[in-house]
Amino acid sequence: MTTFGEVAKRGRGWLPLIGLNALIGSAVTLALPTVLGRSVDSIVAGSDYSRWLIIAATLIGLGIVASIIDAFAGAACVAETTAWLRHRLVRQVVHGGPEGARGFETGDLVTRVSANANDAAQAGPAAVTALAAIAPPVGSLVLLALIDVWLAAAFFGGVVLVMLVLLAFAKRTADISLAYQETQGQIASRLAESLTGIRTIAAAGTTAREERRILGLLPELHKHGVVTWRILARSGAQAAVVGPLVLVAVLAVGGVQLVAGKITAGELFAASQYAVLGAGLGTLTGVIGEIARAKAGVQRAAEVLAIDAVPHGSMALPAGAGQLTFDHVTVVADGNVLLDDVSLDLPGGLTVAVVGPSGAGKSVLAAVAARLRDPSTGHVSLDGVPLQAVSRHALRRAVGCAFERPQLVGRTIGEAIAPEAVSPVRTLAAARATHAHDFVSRLPDGYLTSLRRAPMSGGERQRLGLARAWPAHRLLVLDDATSSLDTATERQIGRTLTEDRHHRTRLIVTHRPATAARADLVVWLDRGQVQAVAPHADLWHNTSYREVFG
Ligand SMILES: Nc1ncnc2c1ncn2[C@@H]1O[C@H](COP(=O)(O)OP(=O)(O)OP(=O)(O)O)[C@@H](O)[C@H]1O
C-alpha cells in the first residue's frame, strides 16, 4: 500500500535542502527581532548601532537567498516525484493486463496519472515546510521565556488557540480535496466515453444532450470548490481573530513588565515581534491545504498501485506445433459463469474455429487461450506447459492475437504492425500475408505514414491488426478479426491461414460458416459450455449447430 510517507520520502534527495532552507528562513525570522531590538536599545542608549544594522542586513540577504533556493528545490523535488509516481502508475496499469484496469474508467485513470500524481508529489515539500513552520513559534516561545516567563505563558496560550483552528481546518479540508479530485476524474471519464462514441453521438443527433451529460458534474465541482474556499475563509477569519490575541496578550503582559522594570524597551520590541510570529501561524492554511491535496492524490494513486500485476513464470516453451489444452477451465466474473468446466485438447498445427451464439463465451475462451485473462479454476497449457509458467517474453513471441476492433499503437503504420524491433523483412511478410501491404503501399509515405493521419476503413484496420499478430510462431488467436473484410479478401486470408506453413495452431472465433468449414476442427460453445468438438461437416447435420449461423 503506497502511503503519504512513502511518496514524501521519494524526494529525499531534495528534502534536506528544502528543510535546511526553511530552517535558515526560520532562524533569520527568529534572529531579526532580537537584532532589531538591540538596535532599538542602542539608539535609545545613544551608542553605536551600525553593527546591528549590518547584521540585520546580512540576515535579510541570507533569508532571500534561502527562499530562492527553497523555491528551486521545491519545484525540482515535485517534478522528480511526479515523474517517479507517473512511471509507477503507468507501469502498474500496463502490467495489470486487460483485467487489471477494469475497475477504473479511462478518463478517471488519466486524471489520476496526470493531475493527481502532481498533487501527490507535493507531499514531501509541503510536509517539510509545515514542520519547518513549527520552528519559529517554538523558538519564539523559548526566546520569550528567556526574556520573561510571563511573556512566554501569554504567547503559549494564544498559540494553542491558533493551532486548534489549524487542526480543524486540516480535518475539514482533507475530505473536500478528495471529493474535488474524484469529481474531476468523473468529468474526465464522461469526456473519454463520449470521445469513444463520438460517431454514434453525431449520428444520433444527441450532441447537446452529451454536452449536458459531461458538464452536468460542473455544479458539483463548483460546490466542492465553494466549500473549499468557505473552509479556507472561515479558518482564515478565525486565525485572523485569534492571531492578534497572541500579540495583544504578549504586549499587555510586556507593558506591565516594562513598567515594573523587569524588561527593557528593546526586549518589549523583540517580544512583540515574536508574538507576531506566533500570530502568523494562521497563514499556514496554504501549506495545510497542499498537504490535504497531496493526501488525496496519494490515496487515488494507491488505488491504482493496488492493481495486481499479471505474474509470469520463467519457462521457455519446448519444441512443438502449438498443442492447446484446456483442463477443467472455469471463468467466473461478477458472479456469472462465463466458461463452465471447459476441457479441450487441440492438437498443434490445426486451424480451430470457435463458434456459438452471441454471448456464448467465445471471446472469453480466446482471451484465456492467449492468457489475456486467467481462469478462475483449471488451467490452459501450450505444448504441455501451463501458460502461467511461461515467461512473458516466450509467451508473447509464441502467441499472437488479433481482434475485431484492433487498437493500433505507434507513430507510424509500420510501428503499428511491428511495435518492437522486428526485421523489416518479417514486417513486410506479415503485411503481405494479411493483405495489408496492398493498401499500405498505396499510401503516400507507405509504412512511414503517420497512424493518426492515415484514413483507414474497418477492414484495413483489421488487416493491420492481423499483420501485427502474424509473426507469432506457436498460436494465433483471431477473435472475429476478419469480420469487416470483404468476402474475397477474407477468403484469401483464410486460405493463407489454412495453408500456413508455420505449422502453428490457429484459433479463430467466427460467425461465418465458410470459415468454420475451412477449419480442421470446430469448437461449438453455448452458454460457456462446450457442446461439441468436431469438423464442421460432421456438425452441420445438427439443427442446433446450423442455427448458430442464423
Ligand atoms: N469481465 C467480464 N465480467 C463480466 N462479464 C463478462 C466479462 N467478460 C465477458 N463477460 C460476459 O460473458 C459473456 C460471454 O462474452 P463473450 O464476449 O465471450 O461472448 P461471445 O461468445 O464472444 O459473443 P459475441 O459473438 O457476441 O462476440 C457475455 O455475457 C459477456 O457480457
| Per-position b or e across 466-482, b if 16+ CB within 10 A of its CB | bbbbbbbebbbbbbbbb
Same-domain pairing of 217 and 353: no
Same-domain pairing of 194 and 239: yes
Same-domain pairing of 185 and 257: yes
Q: How far is the CA of 361 from the centre of ligand 1 (A)?
A: 5
Under a CB-based contact definition with an 8 Å cutoff, are residues 313 and 390 in contact? yes
Number of structural domains, the chain? 2
Q: How far is the CA of 359 from the centre of ligand 1 (A)?
A: 5
Q: Rounded to an integer, what distance in angstroms lies between the CA atom of residue 330 and that of residue 343?
A: 9
- pTM (predicted TM-score): 0.76
Q: Which of 104, 354, 364, 527 to mutate to test ligand 1, by most ligand atoms within 8 A of the CB atom? A: 364
Residue 545, class by beta-carbon neighbours within 10 Å (0-12 exposed, 13-18 middle, 19+ buried)?
A: buried
- Helix/strand/coil for 155: helix
Give nearest CA residue, ligand 1 atom 2.
333
- Helix/strand/coil for 486: coil
Task: Determine, yes or no, domain membership for 8.
Answer: yes
Q: Rounded to an integer, what distance in angstroms lies between the CA atom of residue 304 and that of residue 7?
A: 14
Q: Rounded to an integer, what distance in angstroms lies between the CA atom of residue 262 and that of residue 491?
A: 105
Same-domain pairing of 292 and 364: no
Q: Rounded to an integer, what distance in angstroms lies between the CA atom of residue 322 and that of residue 474?
A: 5
- Which residues constitute the domain of residue 192? 4-305
Reported as half-sphere exposure (CB side, CA atoms, 13 A), residue 400 has a value of 22
Region for 405 from its dihedrals, namely left if φ exceeds 0, alpha if ψ lies in -120 to 50, beta otherwise: beta
Same-domain pairing of 253 and 347: no
The three cell numbers locating residue 24 = 535558515
Q: Rounded to an integer, what distance in angstroms lies between the CA atom of residue 148 and that of residue 253?
A: 10
Name residue 32's amino acid.
Answer: L
* Closest-lying ligand 1 atom to the alpha carbon of residue 367: 18
Residue 296, class by beta-carbon neighbours within 10 Å (0-12 exposed, 13-18 middle, 19+ buried)?
A: buried
Under a CB-based contact definition with an 8 Å cutoff, are residues 284 and 178 in contact? no
Please list the ranges in the chain whose pLDDT falls under 50: none
Give the per-residue pLDDT at 385.
Answer: 94
> Of 305, 334, 366, which one is at a domain's C-terminal end?
305
Sign of CA dihedral 382, 388, 391, 393: positive
Residues 30, 35, 37, 40, Cα dihedral to 10°: -160
Same-domain pairing of 124 and 259: yes
Q: How far is the CA of 425 from the centre of ligand 1 (A)?
A: 37
Give me the helix-helix angle, 123-147 and 50-95, nearest 10°. 150
For residue 83, count other CB atoms closer than 10 A to its CB. 12
Task: Determine, yes or no, domain membership for 319.
Answer: no
- List residues near ligand 1 (CB under 6 A): 333-334, 336, 338, 356, 358-364
* Closest-lying ligand 1 atom to the alpha carbon of residue 334: 4
Backbone torsions φ then ψ of 12, nearest 5 degrees: -60, -25
Region for 528 from its dihedrals, namely left if φ exceeds 0, alpha if ψ lies in -120 to 50, beta otherwise: left
Under a CB-based contact definition with an 8 Å cutoff, are residues 322 and 380 in contact? no
For residue 209, count other CB atoms closer than 10 A to its CB. 11
Task: Determine, yes or no, domain membership for 316.
Answer: no
Give nearest CA residue, ligand 1 atom 13.
359
Q: How far is the CA of 527 from the centre of ligand 1 (A)?
A: 10
Select from 368, 311, 312, 371 the least CA-distant residue to 342: 368
Residues 428, 429, 433, 439, Cα dihedral to 10°: 10
Same-domain pairing of 416 and 278: no
Task: Determine, yes or no, domain membership for 524.
Answer: yes
* Closest-lying ligand 1 atom to the alpha carbon of residue 99: 1
Q: Rounded to an integer, what distance in angstroms lies between the CA atom of residue 526 and that of residue 73?
A: 62
Give the per-residue pLDDT at 296.
Answer: 92
- For the segment 378-411, what is each residue's pLDDT rounded down to a tens digit? 999 999 999 999 998 899 889 999 888 888 888 8
CATH number of the domain within which 360 lies: 3.40.50.300
Q: Rounded to an integer, what distance in angstroms lies between the CA atom of residue 472 and that of residue 481?
A: 15
Q: Which of 363, 372, 480 to mutate to test ligand 1, by most ligand atoms within 8 A of the CB atom? A: 363
Task: Determine, yes or no, domain membership for 173.
Answer: yes
Task: Determine, yes or no, domain membership for 113.
Answer: yes
Q: How far is the CA of 464 from the centre of ligand 1 (A)?
A: 24
> Of 305, 333, 358, which one is at a domain's C-terminal end?
305
- Helix/strand/coil for 330: strand
Same-domain pairing of 288 and 365: no
Under a CB-based contact definition with an 8 Å cutoff, are residues 516 and 355 in contact? yes
Q: Rounded to an integer, what distance in angstroms lies between the CA atom of residue 213 and that of residue 229?
A: 26
Q: Rounded to an integer, what distance in angstroms lies between the CA atom of residue 50 and that of residue 9?
A: 45
Name residue 187's amino acid.
Answer: I
- For the segment 313-349, what is each residue's pLDDT rounded down to a tens digit? 899 899 888 999 999 999 999 889 999 999 999 999 9
Under a CB-based contact definition with an 8 Å cutoff, are residues 221 and 179 in contact? no
CATH number of the domain within which 280 lies: 1.20.1560.10
Same-domain pairing of 247 and 352: no
Q: How far is the CA of 112 from the centre of ligand 1 (A)?
A: 28
Task: Determine, yes or no, domain membership for 310.
Answer: no
Q: Rounded to an integer, what distance in angstroms lies between the CA atom of residue 132 and that of residue 182?
A: 31
For residue 320, count other CB atoms closer than 10 A to its CB. 17
Give the per-residue pLDDT at 70.
Answer: 87
Give nearest CA residue, ligand 1 atom 18.
361
Q: Which of 99, 334, 336 to mutate to test ligand 1, by most ligand atoms within 8 A of the CB atom? A: 336
Select from 321, 382, 318, 316 the least CA-distant residue to 504: 321
Same-domain pairing of 511 and 385: yes
Under a CB-based contact definition with an 8 Å cutoff, are residues 145 and 152 in contact? yes
Same-domain pairing of 286 and 385: no
Q: Rounded to an integer, what distance in angstroms lies between the CA atom of residue 202 and that of residue 207?
A: 6
The three cell numbers locating residue 59 = 540576515
Give the per-residue pLDDT at 520.
Answer: 92
Task: Determine, yes or no, domain membership for 104.
Answer: yes
| Per-position b or e across 492-523, b if 16+ CB within 10 A of its CB | ebbebbeebeeebbbbbbbbbbebbebbbbbb
Under a CB-based contact definition with an 8 Å cutoff, are residues 14 and 76 in contact? yes
Same-domain pairing of 208 and 269: yes
